[in-house]
């Protein structure tokens, strides 16, 4: 192996010796393998100096590995999930709003916090503290989608934006500072843009490295919305801040047990000792605590515009005319995806009419869309009456196709012996569906639920099933295997009688008034059949906490004299009880 020279940032070693070549010539004794591992992201190796280290042969490859600490600008928008929910839901800005994730408060507005609501509270406790609390589910996709418009506007003002997470983005401050005449004018320009977008309360922090800049933004105030940490003073700024800012729960707990509560305490520990005790992850957090954040700001690459659209002049008022007009558009859409080595698994079709109406619908595909599939989705969206040649109430002036979900084309290659549904079956059923309409061909999917009707879900052929009830979850009261072969679309009313001809009732404690002796499968009560065997009851109680929508039922399995087994259900409502046949074992 040729001799190597080590060039690293000044923070890499404690006693560097400057050299005229711009690097650092270090005594061999000062270099330990642990310390080199700790500073690996900031090392630059050259095969041209007398300093040779055998361990480098297994640790590094030749190349550029030197990452200097750069001045960074971080934009922070407080309560961004709340702002995104208010902007999308047309709620008043002063509404006491809480976003719920997994049964607890994920984010809450200032009005809710004033009533004692805070993150981590259970929903009922939050509602007890604020009786007017507006509760909505937290949607991460809504956060990202809404923040995308903000980032697009920032990119028109400043280039090189890196999205850290929704509500926080980082920018290299050198370019904007040179253009606006300083770091503070650049930060004020960014704040002004957010105010124009109707997003108040944004903060900007400027410091050495993204971590310090983010903390500067979070400590900015309403009176000083741009906070600048002078160059070289990051360690002094971070020193009094708590170690909880490192966002590593296990490490934070251990540090507090050791009496280390501030970033200054953590940064004062020897770097090689931290590396040996906490590993490379802990060493990285140790460097952040001392203001040595050499992470680069990587500007996002704007995705290729894959949307396609076509306008019709004059507008077309027939379905067949519109579908014929979008055939070439669908081919171009699929070919553009192929050039990017992508396939589309979900599309959104937008239709504009000459009367100003707007139609939008998302379509899913179990595998990936072809040009013919896209044309069929346009046709089905236009078919209000289900007829292929149906006329439209208003002429279509424009059609737009937007890919909502894409995947690498390599993940959808057909295997050597085929995969999924046979191509001939798929082609034949798709052709029939094209003639009958979107709901003309249905497939059955097993869903979750307690009743047999709940577990049966039919979806149009080619659509991806979206189940609201997970089959794998436990469903107390669910019928055990084997399942009956015939399930009635609607329960058939029946009558069940005891040995003396009296009606059979079931109490709240599951006690029968009489043993089932005969039943009539007809609603009129005729055609009485003798029961030779029976089992039950198996109670099913749903929504017991909702008095208006609760369901109380008891299942029975009975066998008549002809040897036919039935699944009977006795349901109790406010007006009384009734018997019905849910299924039959053929």
Q: Which domain holds residue 19?
A: 1-68
**464 within some domain:** no
Tokens of 19: 């050299």
Give the pLDDT confidence of 346-372 residue by residue, as tens digits.
899 998 888 888 888 888 787 788 898
Classify residue 236 by its DSSP letter: H
Count the domains in the chain.
5
Q: Which CATH number fits the domain that encloses residue 154?
A: 3.40.1170.60
| Mean pLDDT across 406-432 | 69
**448 within some domain:** no
Residues 94, 57 share a domain? no
Q: How far apart are CA 370 and CA 344, in angstroms?
A: 9
pLDDT given at position 150: 92
Q: How large a percentage of the chain has pLDDT more than 90?
A: 31
3-state helix, strand, coil in the chain (%, to 5): 30, 30, 40
pLDDT given at position 358: 84
Of 432, 452, 477, which residue constitutes the final position of a domain?
432
Beta carbons of 148 and 84 less than 8 angstroms apart = no
Mean pLDDT, the chain, whole residue set: 79
**188 within some domain:** yes
Secondary structure of residue 73 in the 3-state scheme: strand
pLDDT at 275 over 50: yes
Give the pLDDT confidence of 119-130 residue by residue, as tens digits.
999 999 999 999
Beta carbons of 258 and 265 less than 8 angstroms apart = no
Give the pLDDT confidence of 481-491 residue by residue, as tens digits.
777 888 887 78
Q: How far apart are CA 34 and CA 25, in angstroms?
A: 18
pLDDT at 305 over 60: yes
pLDDT grade for 87, boundaries at 50, 70 and 90: confident
The tally of CA atoms less than 13 A away on the side-chain side of residue 83 is 19
Residues 413, 326 share a domain? yes
Beta carbons of 205 and 216 less than 8 angstroms apart = yes
Residues 221, 93 share a domain? yes
pLDDT given at position 74: 95
**Higher confidence at residue 227 or residue 471?**
227
CA separation (Å) from 510 to 137, 506, 507, 553, 582? 38, 6, 5, 10, 19
The pTM (predicted TM-score) of the whole model is 0.55
Give the pLDDT confidence of 368-387 residue by residue, as tens digits.
888 988 998 888 888 753 33
Give the pLDDT confidence of 217-232 residue by residue, as tens digits.
999 998 899 999 999 9
- DSSP secondary structure string, 541-584? EE-TT-TTT-EEEEEEEEEETTS-EEEEEEEEETTEEEEEEEEE
pLDDT at 316 over 70: yes
Residues 199, 110 share a domain? yes
Ranking 98-107, 410-419, 474-483 by mean pLDDT, the lowest is 410-419
pLDDT at 183 over 70: yes
**449 within some domain:** no
Distance of CA 183 to the CA centre of its chain: 36
- DSSP secondary structure string, 332-382? HHHHHHHHTTEEEEEEEEEEEETTS-EEEEEEE-SS---HHHHHHHHHHHH
pLDDT grade for 33, boundaries at 50, 70 and 90: very low
Of 175, 196, 228, which residue constitutes the final position of a domain?
228
């Amino acid at each position: 192996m040729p001799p190597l020279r080590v060039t690293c940032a000044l923070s890499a070693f404690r006693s560097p010796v400057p050299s005229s070549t711009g690097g650092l010539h270090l005594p061999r004794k000062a270099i330990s393998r642990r310390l080199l591992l700790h500073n690996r992201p900031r090392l630059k190796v050259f095969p041209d100096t007398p300093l040779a280290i055998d361990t480098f042969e297994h640790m590094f490859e030749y190349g550029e590995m030197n990452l200097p600490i750069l001045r960074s600008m971080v934009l922070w928008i407080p309560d961004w999930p709340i702002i995104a929910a208010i902007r999308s839901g047309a709620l008043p800005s002063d509404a006491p709003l809480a976003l719920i994730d997994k049964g607890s408060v994920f984010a809450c507005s200032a009005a809710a916090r004033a009533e004692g609501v805070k993150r981590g509270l259970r929903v009922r406790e939050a509602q007890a503290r604020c009786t007017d609390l507006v509760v909505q589910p937290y949607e991460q996709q809504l956060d990202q989608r809404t923040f995308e418009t903000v980032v697009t506007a920032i990119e028109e003002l400043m280039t090189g934006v890196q999205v850290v997470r929704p509500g926080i983005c980082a920018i290299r401050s050198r370019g904007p500072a040179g253009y606006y005449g300083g770091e503070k004018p650049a930060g004020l320009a960014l704040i002004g843009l957010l105010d124009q977008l109707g997003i108040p309360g944004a903060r900007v922090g400027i410091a050495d490295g993204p971590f310090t800049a983010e903390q500067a933004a979070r400590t900015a105030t309403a009176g000083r919305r741009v906070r600048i940490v002078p160059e070289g003073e990051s360690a002094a700024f971070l020193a009094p801040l708590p170690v909880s800012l490192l966002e590593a729960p296990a490490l934070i707990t251990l540090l507090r047990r050791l009496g280390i509560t501030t970033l200054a305490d953590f940064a004062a520990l020897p770097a090689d000792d931290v590396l040996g005790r906490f590993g490379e992850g802990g060493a990285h957090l140790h460097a952040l605590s001392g203001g040595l954040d050499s992470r680069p700001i990587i500007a996002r690459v704007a995705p290729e515009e894959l949307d396609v659209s076509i306008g019709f002049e004059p507008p077309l008022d027939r379905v067949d005319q519109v579908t014929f007009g979008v055939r070439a558009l669908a081919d171009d859409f699929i070919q553009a995806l192929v050039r990017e080595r992508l396939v589309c698994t979900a599309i959104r079709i937008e239709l504009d009419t000459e009367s100003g109406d707007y139609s939008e619908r998302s379509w899913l595909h179990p595998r990936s869309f072809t040009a013919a599939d896209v044309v069929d989705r346009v046709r089905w969206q236009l078919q209000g009456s289900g007829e292929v040649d149906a006329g439209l109430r208003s002429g279509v002036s424009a059609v737009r196709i937007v890919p909502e979900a894409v995947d690498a084309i390599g993940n959808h290659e057909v295997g050597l012996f085929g995969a999924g549904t046979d191509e001939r079956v798929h082609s034949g059923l798709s052709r029939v569906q094209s003639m009958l309409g979107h709901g003309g061909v249905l497939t059955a999917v097993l869903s979750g639920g307690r009743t047999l009707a709940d577990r049966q879900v039919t979806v149009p052929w080619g659509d991806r099933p979206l189940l609201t009830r997970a089959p794998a979850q436990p469903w107390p009261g669910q019928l055990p295997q084997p399942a009956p072969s015939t399930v009635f679309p609607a329960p058939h009313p029946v009558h069940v009688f005891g040995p003396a001809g009296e009606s059979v009732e079931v109490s709240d404690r599951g006690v029968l008034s009489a043993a089932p002796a005969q039943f009539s499968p007809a609603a009129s009560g005729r055609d009485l059949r003798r029961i030779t065997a029976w089992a039950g009851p198996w109670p099913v109680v749903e929504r017991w906490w909702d008095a208006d929508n609760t369901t109380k039922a008891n299942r029975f399995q009975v066998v008549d004299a002809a040897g036919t087994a039935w699944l009977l259900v006795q349901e109790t409502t406010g007006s009384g009880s009734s018997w019905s046949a849910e299924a039959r074992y053929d």
